[in-house]
Amino acid sequence: MVNYGGDEVSALVLDFGTSSLRAGYAGDDTPKAIIPTSFGFIEEPAEANGGDVTMGEAGATEGEQPQASKPKVKLYIGQNGPSLWRSGMQIGNPMQDSLIQNFDAIPPLISHALSEVMRCNASEHPVLVTEAAWNSPANRERMAEIMFEEFQVPAFYIANTGVLNAFAAGKGSALVIDVGHSTASVIPVVDGFVLRKGLMHCALPQLVHAHAKHLLTSPTPTRQGIQLIPHQLIASRTPVDAGVPPRFTLREDRRAGTTDSWRAWAENREVEEWIQSIGGVLPQGWNDSAATSQGSRHYEFPTGYNNYFTGVERYAVGEQYFAHSAQLMASNPNLPKTIPSLVTSSIGQCDLDLRQVLLGNVVLTGGGSLFAGFADRLANDMGRAFQHVKIHAPGNPTERRYGGWLGGSILASLGTFHQLWISKEEWQEHGRAIVGQRCK
């Protein structure tokens, strides 16, 4: 055991993302619980107890914590939370800009992951939580407070996803390129510390998403705008040929109970699914003929509408990560920076002596980077801009998507790490200040 420095104290690792919350035991290679961060909620005006019906419908795995805040709300969390249609259910997401904005929903989410999915008691395990590199001190202190006060954890630590991604790749110093669900960031890590001056992040994935949605819903010369109606709202459909307007019937009974936020969430899911299924990035840069030669792919929407999407359509989506078209730039001056320009500005902020260290240890991570051809394109673009670039991009999708959790799992199972935990005793003695002192 001592040989590899591991000493497991059955710590728990919690990794918050915009898309999902990952939880598991330190020392494992995959999180035990992966639940969507988005949650459904129904505001209950009074003591009206309609929960029983929904409870039965949602099943046993559904976490249900009545909020203590003013308007009483019922939360629907987990795999059967937002994805099940419920009358009047709205969708919320505590994350914004990869930071936790709405702490009200955090305890139920954690509780669901730990108690309902992992079936463990948080008060028996030290807990390591991840945070974005640009997290505010107030946010991390709030998180510590939640863990200590609500979950009674014996020890707590909050670590940076950038650093953890570097650790997951086995590196102490690295340039971490993290493409997540809502944010793309470039984080220079040196000796396990984030260089804040070189930290760059922007909402590029949201732009890609919006672009794809626009592409699908707006009519083109060859097709009408596509209706992004989720399957939950469709009663029946009949098969149609490719490109032909779909024939389906809506569930009229659900029309009234569908909230806007749920509708938006469901539509975004459709878009996301489409992107993930047939989107891609051209490895050698944008080139119309190359895009065309990639061929078209078939995709069918829940309405039954199906079509062959040409190479240009498919690859234009991923191209947004690396280059913006001139007309888009002209129409929107505040576009988020592309990945190459993020990397360039990040490297430019770092010390010259570090440049080679960082460029030789580029770590590509995050679910967004699983786009077909993304790693190749990044290697090509960076190879053109810099010399001696070496990119570490795990081929295993789990490692790529949950790199932050994996790094936390490694860190929290190290024997030498256990001196860094903030114990409950220290928390009570020093209060919030201890978080900033210990977790640098």
Partner 1 sequence: MAASAADVRSILSLPNAPGTGPPTQAKKPQAAERAKKPEGIPRELYALIGPSIPTMAAQFAKPRLKQKPNIGGGGNVKWEWRPFRNGARTDDLRLSHWVKSSVDPEADYPFAKYNVQTTPYVYSQDEYNRFLEDSNWTKEETDYLFNLVREYDGRFLVVHDRYEYPGGTERPLEDLKDRYFSICRKLVRNRPWPGDEASKAALISTLTFDKDKETLRKQYVASLVNRTPEQIAEEDALYLELERLKENERRFKKDRDELLRTLCGIESGLPDIAVDDDGLAGTTLDTKKKRKAVAGSVEPQTPVTPSASSVIALPQPQPKKSSAKSAAYDALHCIVRTEVEQTAGSSTKAAHVPVHLRTFKMAQPKAAVAPRVSQVVGEVGISATRIVMPTRDNLAKFASVIDAAQQLVEIKKAVDKHEQDIRTTRARLAILRGENPEGEGEALETPMDVEEGEAEGDVEGRGQSVMSTRSARSRKQGRRSMSVSSVDTANGPNKRQKQR
Residue with tokens 């030669």: 293
Q: Is 383 in the site for partner 1 (CB under 8 A)?
A: no
Contact 349, 257 (CB under 8 A): no
Q: Is 312 in the site for partner 1 (CB under 8 A)?
A: no
Q: Is 238 in the site for partner 1 (CB under 8 A)?
A: no
Q: Is 101 in the site for partner 1 (CB under 8 A)?
A: no
Q: How many residues bind partner 1 (CB under 8 A)?
A: 32
Residue of 8, 116, 267, 376 that binds partner 1 (CB under 8 A) = 8
Distances (CA, A) of 407 to 172, 357, 412: 11, 20, 9
Tally of residues, the chain: 440
Q: Which residues of 162-182 are buried (b: 16+ CB within 10 A; e: fewer)?
A: bbbbbbbbebebbbbbbbbbb
Q: Is 227 in the site for partner 1 (CB under 8 A)?
A: no
Q: Is 154 in the site for partner 1 (CB under 8 A)?
A: yes
C-alpha span between 66 and 12 (Å, rounded): 25
Residue with tokens 């051809």: 373
Write out the binding residues for partner 1, residues 241-270 only, by CB under 8 A. Answer: none
Residue number, 138 or 352, with CB nearest to partner 1: 352
Stretch that binds partner 1, among 212-220, 259-267, 316-324, 350-358 (CB under 8 A): 350-358
Q: Which amino acid is at 274?
A: W
Q: Is 25 in the site for partner 1 (CB under 8 A)?
A: no
Q: For residue 75, which phi and psi values (nearest 5 degrees)?
A: -100, 145
Q: Is 195 in the site for partner 1 (CB under 8 A)?
A: yes
Quickly list DSSP for 321-364.
TT---HHHHHH-TTPPPPHHHHHHHHHHHS-HHHHHHHHTTEEE
Stretch that binds partner 1, among 1-9, 66-74, 222-230, 397-405 (CB under 8 A): 1-9
C-alpha span between 149 and 141 (Å, rounded): 12
Residue of 72, 251, 269, 418 that binds partner 1 (CB under 8 A) = 418
Residue of 244, 416, 431, 436 that binds partner 1 (CB under 8 A) = 416
Nearest in space to 63 (alpha carbons), one of 80, 43, 44: 80
What are the structure tokens assigned to 384, written together?
């053109």
Residue of 155, 177, 375, 389 that binds partner 1 (CB under 8 A) = 155
Stretch that binds partner 1, among 42-50, 253-261, 320-328, 411-419 (CB under 8 A): 411-419
The alpha-helical segments, DSSP class H, found in 97-203 are 106-111, 137-145, 161-168
Residue of 115, 426, 432, 438 that binds partner 1 (CB under 8 A) = 426
What are the structure tokens assigned to 186, written together?
């470039």
Residue of 103, 136, 196, 220 that binds partner 1 (CB under 8 A) = 196
Binding site for partner 1 (CB under 8 A): 2, 5, 7-10, 126, 154-155, 190-191, 193, 195-198, 351-355, 415-416, 418-419, 421, 423-426, 429, 440
